[in-house]
């Protein structure tokens, strides 16, 4: 079994937990995921199975789509409902829907985002959440009478893109959002930042991922379904070529397939659509290309030679 298995992750387990359960259910050691989903979040978790684990590097940067719920009026240290409330709740009247929509729209585009302190980002070689938890232990041991400990450091801001966002609903201080964003985007941070922009404070109370690259919630299967019938995965797995729908494709001749299997350089005569090779050669330098068999199966991922863009080198061979 080789390909992309889209799981509808429930709230609770970590992404690693889901991978471990899938390995047991499918009796396949080679399973990984293409992008972590927080324990409190549900929805699309794209698992790469079998030989497709070698393709995760080409999927981890895919665009994501989320539906989120944000509560206005309270800040938390983790930027979500699992954290500790900071300060007093906002006591004034909450902003109206149009004000919330303008605040959300102000984040659309590319900007530097501050990751949450409780995140997997590294600071001096250690995970940020590890430093934050150590800080909390120090504060708990010191108590009210002890000297104030210096605050735990925040991870460095990272460039992210919010390409689309809209308010789906707003009732009783809870905003429902839909977001399309780059890989590495923290919806928790956006919730916190919206609260800061509005002056009310805010935190994330619900998150569901509905798309990750080619993996859509409509194609997802649940862990409960797999537990009831592990054979279901056979029909649910998306073929490797379809999983990389964002990459351009070149079709090999039979001789080209053989040459690819030996790791040899590929020239125009090795492709049945050599004219497409010339067009790709004019594109971004070093861009990955799917190499397909005459029957349409994914054989390898190739990259143009740095000295001759009309010559491709198979960088990941799947034969």
Q: Which residues are catalytic?
A: 38
Pairing of strands 158-171, 122-123: unpaired
Q: Are 5 and 233 in contact (CB under 8 A)?
A: yes
Pairing of strands 289-292, 249-251: parallel
Three-state DSSP state, 48: strand
* Cα separation of the two ends of the chain: 14
Rounded alpha-carbon distances, angstroms, from residue 198 to 153, 169, 195, 210? 25, 17, 5, 27
Rounded alpha-carbon distances, angstroms, from residue 278 to 7, 46, 311? 38, 33, 10
CA distance 180 to 70: 16
> 65 - beta bridge partners?
180, 211
User: Smallest Cα–Cα separation from 52: which of 26, 24, 31, 37?
Assistant: 31
Three-state DSSP state, 77: coil
Rounded alpha-carbon distances, angstroms, from residue 201 to 24, 30, 85, 115, 314? 43, 43, 10, 16, 51
- Strands of the sheet containing 312-317, edge to edge, are 249-251, 289-292, 298-304, 312-317
Crossing angle (nearest 10°) for helices 187-198 and 97-105: 120
């Amino acid at each position: 079994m080789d390909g992309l298995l889209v799981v509808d992750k429930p709230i609770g387990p970590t992404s690693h937990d889901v991978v471990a359960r899938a390995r047991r259910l499918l009796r396949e050691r080679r399973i990984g995921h293409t992008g972590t989903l927080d324990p409190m979040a549900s929805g699309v978790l794209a698992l790469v199975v079998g030989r497709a684990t070698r393709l995760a590097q080409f999927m981890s940067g895919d665009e994501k789509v989320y539906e989120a719920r944000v509560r206005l009026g309270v800040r938390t240290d983790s930027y979500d409902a699992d954290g500790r409330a900071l300060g007093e709740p906002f006591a004034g009247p909450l902003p109206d829907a149009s004000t919330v929509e303008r605040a959300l729209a102000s984040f659309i585009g590319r900007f530097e985002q501050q990751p949450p302190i409780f995140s997997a980002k590294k600071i001096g070689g250690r995970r940020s959440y590890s430093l934050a938890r150590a800080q909390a232990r120090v504060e708990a041991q010191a108590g009210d009478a002890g000297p104030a400990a210096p605050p735990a450091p925040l991870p460095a801001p990272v460039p992210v893109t919010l390409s689309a966002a809209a308010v789906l609903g707003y009732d009783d201080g809870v905003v429902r959002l839909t977001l399309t964003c780059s890989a590495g985007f923290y919806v928790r941070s956006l919730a916190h930042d919206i609260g800061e922009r509005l002056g009310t404070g805010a935190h994330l109370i619900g998150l569901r991922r509905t798309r990750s690259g080619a993996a859509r919630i409509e194609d997802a299967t649940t862990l409960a379904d797999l537990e009831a019938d592990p054979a279901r995965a056979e029909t649910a797995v998306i073929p490797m070529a379809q999983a990389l729908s964002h990459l351009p494709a070149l079709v090999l001749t039979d001789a080209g397939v053989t040459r690819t299997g030996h790791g040899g350089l590929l020239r125009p005569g090795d492709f049945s659509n050599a004219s497409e090779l010339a067009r790709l050669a004019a594109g971004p330098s070093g861009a990955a290309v799917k190499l397909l068999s005459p029957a349409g199966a994914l054989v390898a991922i190739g990259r143009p030679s740095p000295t001759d863009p009309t010559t491709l080198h198979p960088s990941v061979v799947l034969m």
